[in-house]
Amino acid sequence: MIEDLRPGTFGLEPVRPADRRSPAAAQRLQTDPDTVERDLVKLVLTIVELLRQLMERTALHRVEHGDLSEEQEERVGMTLMILHERMEELCDRYDLTTDDLNLDLGPLGSLLPRNGA
C-alpha cells in the first residue's frame, strides 16, 4: 500500500489521506537534484540484484537436479560470480549496501532475502 512507503525510499513520499481528494493527488515523487542520480542507480541496482538472486537460485536448482553439463555449470558459476563482483563495484561507487537496495514491502516483508536467509 502507498501508506506503507517509508519517506525517503527512492524519493517516494507516502500519500496522506487528505491528499486523496483529487485524482491527480496520487503517489508523488519527491525529487532532489543532488540525489536524483544516486536514487535512480539505487532503483536500477535493486532490480538487477533481485534478478541476480533469482538467476542464482534457478542455477542452483538446475545443478541440484543435474540439468546442466559440467561446462554449463562452470560457465553459469563464472557469470554469476562476475555479476556479483560488478554489483559490489557499483554499490561501492555509489556508497550503497545490499541492505540499501532492499525495499520494505510492509506486511509482505522485504523484497530481497536478508543476509543468511
Residue closest to 12 by CA, chosen among 22, 23, 24, 27: 27
Residue 17 pLDDT greater than 60, yes or no: no
Which pLDDT value is given to residue 74?
A: 94
Q: What is the rounded distance in angstroms from the CA atom of residue 73 to the CA atom of residue 61?
A: 11
Q: What is the rounded distance in angstroms from the CA atom of residue 85 to the CA atom of residue 88?
A: 5
pLDDT tier at 21 (50, 70, 90 boundaries)?
Answer: very low
Query: Model confidence over 45-80: pLDDT tens digits?
Result: 989 988 988 999 999 999 999 999 999 999 999 999
pTM of the shown model:
0.62
Q: What angle do CA 43, 44, 49 make, to 5 degrees?
A: 100
Please list, residue by residue across 26-42, b when 16 or more beta carbons sit within 10 angstroms of its beta carbon and e when fewer do: eeeeeeeeeeeeebeeb
Tell me the Ramachandran region of residue 11: left when phi exceeds 0, alpha when psi lies from -120 to 50, beta otherwise.
left
User: What's the average model confidence in pLDDT over 83-89?
Assistant: 93
Instruction: Parse the chain into domains and list their residue ranges.
Output: 1-30, 36-101
CB 40 within 8 A of CB 94: no
